[in-house]
Amino acid sequence: MSLVAGFGGQIAAAAERVQTLDGRFLALALALQLGMLGFRALAWRGVLAASYPGQRVPVFRLGCAYAAGVALNAFLPARGGEGAKVGLARMQIAGSSVATIAASLSVVLVLDTILGASLIAAFWGMGLVPALPSIPSVGVAPLVAGVALAVAAAAALTVRRATSTARRLLASAARGVAVLRDPRLYARTVLPYQLAAWGCRIGVVFLVLHAFHIEAGLTTAALVVVLSGVSTAVPVPGGAGSQQILAAYALQGVASTAGALSFSVGMQIGVTVVNTAVGLAAAMLLFRTLRPIAAVRTASTRPAR
C-alpha cells in the first residue's frame, strides 16, 4: 500500500514539475519524436519493399499503419499493437501474407537488438552501468546440454510433423527477411533510417532530461534509451512501472531518485500523448473517417488474414 502511495506521490511531483519545464527543449524533443516515427516507418517500408519487389508498397499509407500500431502499443499489453501493424500493412500491399509481414517486423528488431546489446557492453566496459546483483552459480555444462537436447528434440519433432501448410508459412516468413540476404540493399534502404531513428530517440531523451533540468550527457541518454527498450518486454501496457525503475537505475549519480522518477513519468506521458495523437490521426486517414473512436476500434480489431 505504501508502494502505491509512493508511486502516486511521484506522479503528483512530476505534474508539479511540468510548470518548471523548459519549453524550448520540449519543442525540439517533439520534432525529434515525430522524426523517429517517420524514420522507423521508412525502415520497415524498406524491408517490405525487398519482400515484395514486384508490388507497390505505399510510403504514406504504410507509415499510417505503423503509427497506428505504435499508438496501440501504449495501451495493449505485450506490444499488442504489433498485430495491428501486420493487419493494417496487409491491407496496403496486394497479395501480401501475414507470415511475411510479421517476419518483416523481426528484421527491424535485429538492428535494435544488436545496437542495444553493443551499447550496454560498451557502457559496462566504461563503468557506466552499475554492477548487477550476483546470482548463485549453477553447473553450466548440464544446463547447456539439457537445452541443446530439448531444442534438438523439438526441431526433430517439428520436421517430422511438418505439413505443406507449415512449409508454406516458413517460405512466407523467409520472404519477409529477404532484405537480409542482400547486404547492399539493406545498407541502402533500411540501415540509414534505423540509425537515424536511434539518433532521434537518444536526442529526445537528452532534450527531455534537460527540460527537467537534469544535466546529463548523450551517453546517459543512450543508456536510458536502451533500458527503456528492455522495459517493453514487461507484459504491461507501455512498460509502465518498469520504465520508472530502469530510469532510476540508469540515472544513478546524475539525478535523485525523485528527479529520475519524475522525469521518467513525465516523458512516458509525453511520448504516449504524441504517439497517440499521431496514431489516431493516421488511423483516421487510413479509414477515411472523422470519427476517432471508430478509427481506433477498426484499427485494433482489423483481422490479419
* CA 121 – CA 135 distance, rounded (Å): 19
Q: Are 190 and 46 in contact (CB under 8 A)?
A: yes
Please determine, for residue 241, whether its predicted confidence score (pLDDT) is greater than 90. no
Return the pLDDT at 249: 80
The helices-and-strands tally (H runs, E runs) of the chain is 13, 0
* CA 36 – CA 33 distance, rounded (Å): 5
Compare 300 and 29 and report the one with higher pLDDT: 29
Q: Are 223 and 237 in contact (CB under 8 A)?
A: no
Q: What is the mean pLDDT of residues 105-133?
A: 80
Please determine, for residue 198, whether its predicted confidence score (pLDDT) is greater than 90. yes
Return the pLDDT at 265: 87
Return the pLDDT at 134: 44
pLDDT tier at 83, thresholds 50, 70, 90: confident
Nine cell digits for residue 22: 523548459
Please determine, for residue 272, whether its predicted confidence score (pLDDT) is greater than 80. yes
Helix (H, G, I), strand (E, B) or coil at 168: helix
Return the pLDDT at 135: 39
Hey, where are the domains in the chain?
7-132+143-301
What integer best gives the mean pLDDT of the chain? 79
The C-alpha angle with vertex 225 and arms to 122 and 129, in degrees rounded to 5, equals: 40
Return the pLDDT at 303: 52
* CA 214 – CA 152 distance, rounded (Å): 51
